[in-house]
Amino acid sequence: MPAEYYVDYRWFLERQAELLDDLAVSDYSVFVGLAARHRVDPPRHDQHHPDAFWRAAVMLEECVVLRPLPARNELYGFGVAVAYLGMHGERVNTKIRGLAGPDLRHHRPASRLLRRRRAAALAPSAAGLTSLSLSPAGNGLPDP
């Protein structure tokens, strides 16, 4: 069984100073909560002890959702997760291409469909503007 490493709120503050030293922490209680949640082994049916990847994912999620910094919480959460996995001897591919490259192709059709639906919802017929006759000048004003 691998060694267990537990972190406290000071470890999160050190990571914040390393990653984003230009930002001040806006909510210290998030760091205390992160440290407390990371020590808990919640019951799971498939695994008796959560591994380092599970705990790093929890840290990332909590940083994104609870927002301990005034900005760039996603970047901070990613840095904390990578640092925690590095402490456990796990390597993470931190290249942008390796993390998000081919998966973005699957989201493009969905975003196109969403744009089409928004455009259809904002069409003049949806706003009740079809009864206006526009001037030949094309300035958007009704004919006199």
66-99 tens-digit pLDDT: 999 998 999 999 999 999 999 988 888 766 554 4
Does residue 131 sit within a domain? no
pLDDT digits (tens, 9 = 90+) for 44-65: 666 666 678 888 888 999 999 9
Secondary element (H or E) of residue 22: none
Answer whether residue 15 is part of any domain. yes
Asked if the structure places residue 44 within a domain, the reply is yes
Is the backbone of residue 16 left (phi > 0), alpha (psi -120 to 50) or beta? alpha
Q: Report which of residues 21 and 79 the model is more confident about.
A: 79
Structural domain containing residue 52: 9-92
Our count of domains for the chain comes to 1
**Does the global pTM surpass 0.95?**
no
